[in-house]
Amino acid sequence: MWERVKTFASEFFVTGDPLIYGADVSIVITILGIVIGLTYFNKWGWLWREWLTTVDHKKIGIMYILAAFIMLFRGGVDALLMRAQLAAPEMNLLPPDHYNQIFTTHGVIMILFMAMPFMFGLFNVMVPLQIGARDVAYPFLNALSFWLFFSGAMLFNLSFVIGGSPDAGWLAYPPYSGIMHNPGVGQDFYIWGIQISGIGSLMTGINFIVTILKMRAPGMKLMKMPMFPWSVLSSCIAIIFSFPILTATLALLFLDRYAGAHFFTLDGGGNPMMYINLIWMWGHPEVYIIVLPAFGIFSEIVSTFAKKKLFGYKSMVYAMMIISILSFLVWAHHFFTMGSGADVNAFFALTTMLIAIPTGVKVFNWLFTMFRGKITFETPMLWTMGFIPCFIVGGLTGVLLSVAPADFQFHNSYFLVAHFHQVIIGGVVFGYFAGLYYWWPKLFGFKLNERIGKWAFWFWNIGFYLCFMPQYALGLMGMTRRVVTYGWDKGWWEMNLVSTIGAGLMGIAFLFQVWQIVYSVKHLRKDETGDPWNGRTLEWSIPSPAPVYNFATLPHVTSQDEWWEEKQRRLQGHPAPAPVKIEPIHMPKNSGIPIVMSMFWFFTGFGFIFDWLWLAIPGLVGVAACMLVHSFNYDTDYYIPVEEIKRTESAIRGVTS
C-alpha cells in the first residue's frame, strides 16, 4: 500500500528539482499563513461576504488587479530565470526540458493571466464610473467571469508542482503538443487552464459591450463618451469574435489528445498547419485586445495632464474601431514561412502594414493634445511619455517584420522576441501601470508615493531598453528564440549579458512598485477631494473610494469632458446644480454561485487532465446544478433605501465639504 502511494506521489507531484521543492515549501507556508491569519483574526465571514461573493464591479476589479500582480510576479520570475540561463554561454542553470517549460509558462501567464486580468480589472473599476452607471450590465456574470479566470489561472499554475508544466510554447503548436510527442499532463493543464479562463473572458467581453451601449448616463451620446470606454468597446468587439475561435481550437486539440481524433496529428489525415492557422486567428486579435484599452488610458491621461481637450476625438474613435476589425485580417503574418504561396503572403503583408496607419493617427493625436498644453509630469503622465517612443520603435520593427520576404530572415529569431516585448511591455504594461497610478486614488482614496514611483519608472525604462535593444541585434546575428544555451564561438555573450542586466533592473523596478504601495499605505495621506489630478471625466465627480452605488443621483451629461466643463461652469460663478431628490437605488444581490460554480469547473478540468472521470463527471454535474439553481432563483436584487443613501453620502461628503 505504502509503495503504491509512493509511486503515485512521485508521478503526481513534480520531483527532482530543488527550485521546485523550494516553491513547494513556500506555497505551503503561504497558504498556511493565509488560513491561520484569517482564522486568528476571525475574518472568514468577512472574506466571504465582502469579497468572495461580491458582485460589486469595483471589488471585482480590485481582485482582478491583485491576481494580475501575483501573476506578474510569477511570470517575471520565469523571465529572470530564463535571462539568468542565457547570461553566459554554456550555462547549466536550467536543464533544457525545464527551460522549455519556463518559456511556455512565462508566455501564457504574461498574456493570459497577467495582461488579461489586469485589463479586466481596469475595465471593471472604471468603465461604470466613467459612463455614469451604477454597475455593469450583468453583475452576476461579472463575478462568474472573475472566478472562472481565477480557477483557470490556479489550474494552470498548479501544473508547476503537480503533474508537470506544459512545454510546447505559449501557443502549443502541434504536432509537438499532440499526445504522440507530449504524453504527459502538462499540455492538458494548458488546455483546461486557458479554456476555463477563456470562457470568463468571453463573458466579460459581452458584459462590457452591453454596459457601454445600454447603460450610459442620460445625455451621454456615444460621441460624448470618454475615450477609455471607447477603447474598451473596441477591445470587447475583438474579444467576442476572437475568443470563440480559441475555445473551438483548444477543444479540437483536446479531442486529438483525449479522444484520439485526427485534426492536427501527423497521421490519420490530420494537418498541424490548420491549428497554426486557427490559433493565430485568435492570437492576433488578442494582442490588439490587450493594447487597445492601453490606448484609451493614455488618451485620458494625456488630456488630463496637458489640461486640454483630447485632440482629434473622432479620428481616435474611428482609428480604434478600424484597428479592432482590421486585427482579424492579418493573422497569416505569423506564419509567412509556412509556405502558403506568394499571393497569400502578399495579401497579409499589405493588411499588416495598413494597421500602422490608424496607429500612427493615434500617436499624432496624443502629440497634438500635448502641444501647447500646460503639462505636469506626475507618474501617470511619465508612463505615457515613456510609452510613446517605446511603442513607436516597437511598431516600426513590426512593420519590418510584416515585409514577407524579409520575415523569412527575422522569423523565430530574437528580433521577433525583441519586437513583441517592445510593443507589449512598452504599450500594454506601461499603459496599465499608467492607468493604475492614475486611478489608484479613485479606487482606494489616496495617492501612491510619487518619489518611489519615479524610481520605479526609471528602473523599468532603463531596464527595458538594456534588456531588449541588444536582442534586436542578437536576432540579426542569428540567435533564434527558445534556445536554451549557445556556444562561446557565437559572439553573442556580451549582448546577452547586457540583456540579462536589463531584465534584472526591471525586476528591481517591480520591487520598487511593491515598496511604493506598502510605503503609501503606511504613510497614508487621504485624498479628500475625490479629484486629485483635476480630472475631466465623471469618475472624478464622486468621492473616493466610490460608494457601493457609485452615483447617489445619476448625472446628466451635456458635453464630452463633463466634469471639467462642470468645474468651469462653477468657476464662472454658475451655481452647482440643485440637488436632485434621492430615490431608492436598485442593486444586485451578492451571490455565492459564481465561486462555487468555478470550483466545479476547476474539478472538471482537473479530472479531465488526469483522466479521472470520477472527478470530472461530478464536476460537470455541479456546474449544471449551479446553473439551474441560478435560473430558478428570482430573488436577485434589492433596493437601497433613501435613508441609507443619505447616511452614506453625508458620511463621505461630510469630510469633503
Yes or no: say if 609 and 257 are a contact pair by the CB < 8 Å rule: no
Q: Which is nearer to another protein, 523 or 581 (CB)?
A: 581
Q: Which is nearer to another protein, 90 or 343 (CB)?
A: 343
Q: Which is nearer to another protein, 353 or 587 (CB)?
A: 587
Exposure of 619 in the CB half-sphere (CA atoms within 13 A): 20
Q: Which is nearer to another protein, 35 or 248 (CB)?
A: 248
Q: Which is nearer to another protein, 273 or 476 (CB)?
A: 273
What phi and psi values does residue 585 have, to the nearest 5 degrees?
A: -110, 135
Cβ 431 to another protein, closest distance in Å? 25
Is the dihedral angle over the CA atoms 495, 501, 505, 507 positive or is it negative?
positive
Cβ 8 to another protein, closest distance in Å? 29
Closest-CA residue to 592 (of 546, 633, 620, 621): 633
Cβ 347 to another protein, closest distance in Å? 8
Cβ 53 to another protein, closest distance in Å? 19
Q: Which is nearer to another protein, 262 or 309 (CB)?
A: 262
Q: What SS3 state is found at 637?
A: strand
Closest-CA residue to 415 (of 459, 476, 338): 476
Cβ 372 to another protein, closest distance in Å? 31
Which residues partner with 639 through β-bridges? 586
Cβ 171 to another protein, closest distance in Å? 16
Q: Could you tell me what percentage of the chain is helix, strand and coil, using 3-state DSSP and rounding each to the nearest 5?
A: 70, 0, 25
Strands (E), 272-421: none
Closest-CA residue to 250 (of 170, 311, 316, 329): 170
Cβ 331 to another protein, closest distance in Å? 8
Separation of alpha carbons 557 and 132, rounded Å: 9
Q: Which is nearer to another protein, 54 or 104 (CB)?
A: 54
Q: Which is nearer to another protein, 53 or 277 (CB)?
A: 277
Q: What is the dihedral of CA 394, 399, 405, 409, to 10 degrees?
A: -10
Cβ 631 to another protein, closest distance in Å? 6
Q: Which is nearer to another protein, 274 or 477 (CB)?
A: 274
Closest-CA residue to 130 (of 479, 551, 598, 433): 551
Q: Which is nearer to another protein, 173 or 492 (CB)?
A: 173
CA 536 → CA 57, 92, 157, 553, 562, distances in Å?
22, 54, 40, 19, 7
Q: Which is nearer to another protein, 108 or 239 (CB)?
A: 239
Cβ 641 to another protein, closest distance in Å? 14
Cα end-to-end distance, the chain, whole Å: 72
Tell the residue number behind the cell numbers 447617489, with chain if given. Answer: 552
Cβ 13 to another protein, closest distance in Å? 32
Separation of alpha carbons 215 and 555, rounded Å: 12
Yes or no: say if 337 and 411 are a contact pair by the CB < 8 Å rule: yes
Separation of alpha carbons 86 and 486, rounded Å: 8
> CB under 8 Å, gap of 24 or more: what pairs does 44-48 form?
48/592
Q: Residue 377: which H helix or E strand, with range?
A: none
Separation of alpha carbons 546 and 324, rounded Å: 31
Yes or no: say if 322 and 353 are a contact pair by the CB < 8 Å rule: no
DSSP state of 639: E
Cβ 608 to another protein, closest distance in Å? 16
Q: Which is nearer to another protein, 248 or 655 (CB)?
A: 248
The CB density around residue 549, as the number of other CB atoms within 10 Å, is 18
Cβ 214 to another protein, closest distance in Å? 5
Closest-CA residue to 246 (of 290, 296, 202, 209): 202
Cβ 110 to another protein, closest distance in Å? 25
Q: Which is nearer to another protein, 103 or 138 (CB)?
A: 138
Tell the residue number behind the cell numbers 479540437, with chain if given. Answer: 252
